[in-house]
Amino acid sequence: MKLTSVPGYFSNYEELAQIPGQTNYAYTKIVSPGDDGVKRKNWQELLDSLPAGHKVFLVARHGQGYHNLIVDTYGEPEWDRYWSKLNGDGELEWFDAHLTELGIKQVERTGSLIFNGQLDGVVPDVFYCSPLRRCIETFHNSWNQVANLQERGITDHDYDTIELNILEGLRETIGEHTCDKRQPISKTFKEYNLINFDQKNNAKKNSDLRLKLNYLPVYTEEDLLWKADQRETNDEIDKRLSKCLQHIWEREKASGSNNKLISITCHEGVIQSILRVLNHESIPRFETSGVVALVVKEDEEK
């Protein structure tokens, strides 16, 4: 099985780069009409018009984490040479990094402008996420407005609890950098499962939304994949993401549901790999809290 992206549904990097003042963090604007001549005014019409066997991956990068802040502070060369190998600098810690205050504001913006604005009440059918803390915090702070959709009369569904499927395959590039080492599952589960977030967990308690963490196999309590002296190559992460996306695809097919909109919360390295694996046009720099929408289909391998 080979998955590939289908162009012509959403604005691309080159188009957005021509718009003065465009931040280029959101690649989710619907192109109307598409290459197939079908006019789509909104997300619901787009989903309704998808050919059979096509789905939309709504892929979000986490907001600024403390490791990103240190990269900005010392520069990328010094980060790669020295700081990335440490857990912190004596003041800040970035092992399995939390979001910064700016990171929280960034993903709240994404939630307001994209998930609660542009999607206009359309909610993904299923949610997948990296196991690293910055992604779990990103998901909560960007999707917390979903909990208010019922009050606004947009949906009859009660979204006070969302099941978040945690996939090890969605982790950032593995190895060397301590920010990308996963803390034990039991600790993350205790911090986030069915808990209303608060400042203790570096996230705001601004809704009643709770996350039910569903760790999909295969997991180990401790992180056995991360190595201090070896980091994944692009080829290695592409093989990992190809298997991960196929796992998501097969899981959705096996569920018997007609899920068309799939949410994925992850990392820049993962998103760049997804774009390569799906043969999608490149996005040279994917900003923290950025979002890209991809129409995906299954091709038979020859």
Give the catalytic positions in this structure: 62, 172
Where on the phi/psi map is residue 134: left (φ > 0), alpha (ψ -120 to 50), or beta?
alpha
The C-alpha atoms of residue 147 and residue 159 are separated, in whole angstroms, by 5
Cis check: omega of the bond before 146, within 30 degrees of 0: no
Secondary structure, 3-state, the chain: CEEEECCCCECCHHHHHCCCCCCCCEECCECCCCCCCCCCCCHHHHHHHCCCCCEEEEEEECCCEHHHHHHHHHCHHHHHHCHHHCCECCCCECCCCCECHHHHHHHHHHHHHHHHHHCCCCCCCEEEECCCHHHHHHHHHHHHHHHHCCCCCCCCCCCCEEEEEECHHHCCCCCCCHHHCCCCHHHHHHHHECCCCCHHHCCCCCCCCEEEEEECCCCCCCCCCCECCECCCHHHHHHHHHHHHHHHHHHHHHHCCCCCEEEEEECHHHHHHHHHHCCCCCCCCCCCCCEEEEEEEEECCC
> What is the widest separation between alpha-carbon atoms in the chain?
58
The C-alpha atoms of residue 43 and residue 10 are separated, in whole angstroms, by 11
